[in-house]
Structure 1
Amino acid sequence: MLGATSLVLAFSLSMDSFAAALGCGAVQQRPSLSEALRVGATFGGFQLAMALAGWALGVSFAEQVQAVDHWIAFGLLLLIGGSMIRNAVGGEADDDAAVTRSGWLSLLTMGVATSIDASAVGVGLAMADLDIVVTASLIGLVTFLMGFGGVLLGCAAGPLLGRRAELVGGLGLIAIGTKILIEHTLF
């Protein structure tokens, strides 16, 4: 039972990262295995770290984390998505140096934004009868694999979409942020 519960939890938490990775891959000019590894490792690492951090905070801070996590995720994804849309609509051509300079910052921001919910889940795990090391490791591994695969799938779709790939990626990130916000404020 422990394995099945942890696996379902890991897949659930990795969905936002998978969608963001699809967008990352779609805007790549050339499919890159190293980029897929970088995105997968970043997203997987953040999911693992945030689940552990949430668990460490424990029950005493559950309400404070859950009260703002959705707003932070929404804001970060809105900023990144808006920037991608602006670049796509404005027709700005990113040179390789600019992409490299901003790539890590954007990737780290997306890593944080898509894993904030893992911290809230981690708080809940402090109250559950689950092995946090196994569960957090599984969350990180599944998210790594989903991020890696998302970039590769996005790379395959990117040439078909052309410049619209960045527009679709930006809209996708804003949709993810909106979904997180709606789920936390209406339900």
Structure 2
Amino acid sequence: MDIGTLVILAIGLGADAFSVAIGIGIEGIRRRDIYILGAIIGIFHVIMPWVGLIAGGALGAVIGQLAVIIGALILFFLGGKILYEAWFKEAGPTIGLGGHGQATAGGLRPDPMTTHFSPSFYTLVILAAGVSMDALTVGFSLGTVGAELVTTILTFGIVAAIMTIIGCFIGRRVGPTLGVHAQVVGGLILIGIGIKLLLW
């Protein structure tokens, strides 16, 4: 497999991570956490195809389906939590907000200029795992395409990390223009990617 084909495959594999990163960036995320999330997703995009290659065959297909379902459920949970907080939480800090807000007729609304997705390291790992589960299934076919394993999975990881970081920064730039709707858009993107994982 030539490097051009490999990079194109890596970009396709990293598309979900890129989309989710935009959603997270729209809600607001600290610069430090952007790089941490990118690194974790990159690591998962190295590990998952390798595990898939080892599993292989029928066992791999079963594990792959289960992994995709788990990944989708994680994205549903995180996206649903963000939507719940956007629609029903009137005040106070949340997992996705820093507790800053603007007074409105309906209570406190998050201030898009001061709120941030401030996750723990554990939350970042769970999010990265959720969006990387589909990379597991790619490993099942690596042995049949004549791919050089180390080069392939490292390319997957590097490209996914870069796409995640770029996606987060794009989302951060777009977020303020969406105002109080930023959380809703971010949550819907996560749920949408979860649905895509199940239907792919």
Q: TM-score, normalised by structure 1?
A: 0.87
> Structure 1's 166 and 73: CA in aligned 2 closer, same or farther, altered over 3 A?
same
- 1:90 partnered with 2:70: no
Q: 1:127 aligns with which of 126, 130, 144?
A: 144
Partner of 2:74: 76
Structure 2: which 5+ runs fail to align?
100-115
RMSD of the alignment, in Å? 2.1
Structure 1: which 5+ runs fail to align?
none
Question: Once the 2 structures are TM-superposed, how far is the Cα of residue 163 of structure 1 from its aligned partner?
Answer: 2.6
Partner of 1:7: 7
CA contact (8 A) 1:2 1:130 kept: no
Tell me the distance in 2 between the aligned counterparts of 1:163 and 1:17.
24
> Structure 1's 99 and 117: CA in aligned 2 closer, same or farther, altered over 3 A?
closer
Structure 1 segment 35-184 matched on structure 2, within 5 A: 35-59=33-57, 61-91=59-89, 92-94=91-93, 96=98, 100=118, 102-183=119-200
Question: Once the 2 structures are TM-superposed, how far is the Cα of residue 99 of structure 1 from its aligned partner?
Answer: 5.7
CA contact (8 A) 1:44 1:140 kept: yes
Tell me the distance in 2 between the aligned counterparts of 1:163 and 1:41.
29
Question: Once the 2 structures are TM-superposed, how far is the Cα of residue 2 of structure 1 from its aligned partner?
Answer: 2.4
Q: TM-score, normalised by structure 2?
A: 0.82
> Structure 1's 82 and 19: CA in aligned 2 closer, same or farther, altered over 3 A?
same
> Structure 1's 93 and 147: CA in aligned 2 closer, same or farther, altered over 3 A?
farther
CA contact (8 A) 2:25 2:168 kept: yes
Number of residues of Structure 1 aligned to a counterpart in Structure 2: 180
> Structure 1's 166 and 93: CA in aligned 2 closer, same or farther, altered over 3 A?
farther
Name the stretch that deviates more: 61-70 or 162-171: 61-70
* Matched residue SS, 1:162: helix
Question: Once the 2 structures are TM-superposed, how far is the Cα of residue 7 of structure 1 from its aligned partner?
Answer: 1.0
Tell me the distance in 1 between the aligned counterparts of 2:120 and 2:179.
19
Question: Once the 2 structures are TM-superposed, how far is the Cα of residue 160 of structure 1 from its aligned partner?
Answer: 1.1
1:71 counterpart letter in structure 2: I
Tell me the distance in 2 between the aligned counterparts of 1:99 and 1:117.
24
Question: Once the 2 structures are TM-superposed, how far is the Cα of residue 114 of structure 1 from its aligned partner?
Answer: 1.0
* Matched residue SS, 2:28: coil
Name the stretch that deviates more: 70-79 or 87-96: 87-96
What percent identity do the matched residue pairs reach? Answer: 28
Tell me the distance in 2 between the aligned counterparts of 1:46 and 1:77.
16
2:15 counterpart letter in structure 1: M
